[in-house]
Amino acid sequence: MTLVVIDPGHGGSDPGATYKSFQEKNFNLAISQMVHDRLLSKYLVDVVLTRETDKTVELKKRTDLANAIKADFFLSIHNNASGGSGFETFIYNGQVPNETIQLQTTIHNKIANDILKKYTILDRGKKRANFFVLRETKMNALLIEVLFVDNDQDLMLLKNPSFIMDISTVIADATALALKLPVKSQPIEDTLYKVIAGSFQDQENAEQHLSKLIQKGFGGFISSTVVDKKTFYRVQVGAFREKNNAEDLVEKLKRAGFDSFILVEGESPSPSKPDKGYPIQGNAILTAKQMDAYTRSINPGAPDLAVLYLSQGKKYNIRGDIAYAQALHETNFFRFTGDVKAEQNNFAGIGATGGGARGASFPNESTGVLAHLQHLHAYTSTAPIPAFDQKVDPRFDLVTRGSATTWQALNGKWAVPGTTYGQLILGLYKNILEAALKEIEKERSKLKNTIENLEI
């Protein structure tokens, strides 16, 4: 399946262009999230965002991510500044394949025909530049400059929720057209948890509220409904199959100062087909020594946690060596460079929903590992916590029990959107296996040489 990386420009301590208290990074994120949602809902495609919240992400980390997961297309979304007006797109000004040029032409022209004419926006053309994210990506890459934040006429459009919806929709559809993405068949109806950030009887009030959300980096749209013969305009900012993902978004909105609620639609899903992918349950293959050795080759100060993962994993019939790989992914090899800090003993990012949320804390390493394994147990099984253990995972009851029996089935559940989350964990696990195999081959060669040179 085609894999697209969407890169919301700037973020965190880097606001991008600023004008009259408006910051480019928030427009970039809102548009990127809506492009992401449109692609996933309408087309057969995998989509990954380089940032999902207002956080600082170095340019190299953005391109490293895209290169590591071997994306097929990299789309960086920005807004412009420094005197000017209008829309433009960029590809790298060095040597690029003809396919890159064709992709730019298709995407640019569709946006020009469907949006620029509709809103009387100046088309500044298809351009080339030596931008880092275009130069350092190993796949076709395109950077879009939607409008100029410091131009009053352009800013009026960026503050208009209808324009944000229109431009996001067309960027997604243009990308799908250029990449020849298949359209999804009609999905089977099941329970859907919609996050509503406001409900108004006056449509103009709803639009003003959505504009405030967009300026804070939240995407969304307005839908109308009739209750007791009265029309209400709801501001919807998300829809999820997993309740805990909807609850995480509600928490993010709350921290940003927006009240919201979850609207449940549809019936409970009927029994589904078995999850595809590599099972979470099963026996570990690696030894604690092999796991710790690999981690210390990257972080010499890493703690000795492999034994805990193997022993706790065995109790819950969970592959402790892969759970350990997940911990490496969540903690950046126990360097804790994200929101969660080392003293929390939270090796799975439990409750760390982004935007600076620190997540759960545990009194010691053993409890932290146990919480991790219990959280996996909640996803992969409907069985209760074993009688010999107390429940220490604070989010155990928020999980839809038995909803993910494979690592790939955690995509979009453990991490949002996390469309390749399970694959990233298994890729890291494979690296540990390969490193262990190399050491075994060295030992085998050493033993063989000793036997051959042995004088008896």
Q: Are 340 and 352 in contact (CB under 8 A)?
A: yes
For the chain, the 3-state helix, strand and coil shares in percent, each to the nearest 5, are: 45, 20, 40
Instruction: Give dist(CA 167, CA 158) in Å, integer.
Output: 10
Would you call 145 a catalytic residue per the annotation?
A: yes
Extract the tokens encoding 360.
């759960």
Instruction: Give dist(CA 371, CA 388) in Å, integer.
Output: 14
Where is 233: in which H helix or E strand?
Answer: strand 230-240
Helices (H), 221-364: 243-255, 288-296, 306-315, 320-331
CA-based radius of gyration for the chain: 24
Instruction: Give dist(CA 60, CA 336) in Å, integer.
Output: 19
Report cis status (omega within 30 of 0) of the bond before 417. Answer: yes
Q: Measuring CA to CA, which residue among 174, 19, 134 is closest to residue 84?
A: 19
Question: Which of these is catalytic: 24, 52, 145, 242?
Answer: 145
Q: Are 49 and 79 in contact (CB under 8 A)?
A: no
The residues assigned a catalytic role are: 145
